Amino acid sequence: MKRHHNLYEKICSFENLLLAAGKAQRGKKLKTPVSDFNLGFEKEIFTLQAELQSHTYRVGHYKQFHIYDPKKRLISALPYRDRVAQHALCNVIEPIFDRVLIFDSYACRKSKGSHRAVSRFQVYCRKNKYALKCDVKNYFASIDHEILLGMIMDKIKDPEALWLIKLIIDSTPSPGIPIGNLASQIFANLYLNGLDHYLKENLKCRFYLRYMDDLIVFGNDKGQLNQARKRIADYLEKLKLQLHANKCQVYPTKNGVKFLGYKVYPSHKLVAKENVKRFKIRMRKYISLFQSNLMSIPKITCSIQSWLGYAVFANSFHLRRKLFSNILIKG
């Protein structure tokens, strides 16, 4: 297994930090922390570079808040300069770890994403009678730092790069890595990579894909899929993880299987009913706020466009026509 060294100089290079700052501020240039940073941009970059090079850099304080997507999640957001530091690190280490992931791992990867995951899911539905869906319980909050660092050290030898990685990982208590960190996405993908390879190579699960902590094994033998479920649970135990007992089942693919907000059938895809319900509630709220002069049309339009980008990927023409005709009539 190839281990990489001499990475830290690339991470700390002025060119890489410039690239990192550009990535970190995409869509956020008007926000105060970003505009403040940009007022003294060159000085801020040189200061961050000096701290990284001298190992005096320390991770800032997290701002925590909850989102509902649909379930409640705790998001931990770092100050802008720390996001620049993480982009600088990830620019260098992401390609290293991406190369070891299986093809059918779709979350937070270039040229992958949720739509490609759903398309692949549908292809596998057409080829198989059943789908075993597994969900890892409290995944991000359960990732063990020591186990994670061991996986990282299997690929990275550079002691200075490892110093920065460990600093970021240990910026929150173990177990757990924060949802909201760019580096957490890479680490979370890596943490289950061994399980991915075990299922593909040892258990010969030909039709398997993963989207972060959602694991799906397809097959034509229900008994074999239930055996695979036991093997998955055993493997996860070594990682100090466990399956969601009520979110791990075998489903007939002909009846449609929920995945990433869609109900996926072998022949078509529908928007999941609960997502339609949430959109209706949100639109009623937005219309009420608009009528009270508390919300602007551009903000409502932005939300609608975001939902449409999700909905048009399904067979949803009649649903969209019905929804928006109702909104126009009631609005």
Token readout for 6 is: 């001499």
CB atoms within 10 A of CB 163: 14
Q: What is the pLDDT of residue 1?
A: 66
Task: For residue 262, give the 3-state DSSP assignment.
Answer: strand
184: phi then psi, degrees, rounded to nearest 5: -60, -35
Task: For residue 215, give the 3-state DSSP assignment.
Answer: strand
Token readout for 69 is: 């997507």
Name the burial class of residue 131, with classes exposed (0-12), middle (13-18) and buried (19+) by CB atoms within 10 angstroms of its CB.
buried
- Tens of pLDDT, residue by residue over 12-41, are 999 999 999 999 998 887 788 898 999 999
Could you say which residues of the chain have pLDDT below 50?
329, 331
Q: Across the strands, what pairs with 76?
A: 64
Token readout for 111 is: 């040229």
Token readout for 219 is: 């097959």
Dihedral of alpha carbons 89, 91, 97, 103, sign: positive
Q: What is the pLDDT of residue 115?
A: 97
Q: What is the pLDDT of residue 329?
A: 44
Q: What is the pLDDT of residue 177?
A: 98
Report which secondary-structure segment, H or E, holds 210.
strand 208-211
What's the rounded Cα separation, in Å, for the pair 182 and 79?
13
Q: What is the pLDDT of residue 29?
A: 74
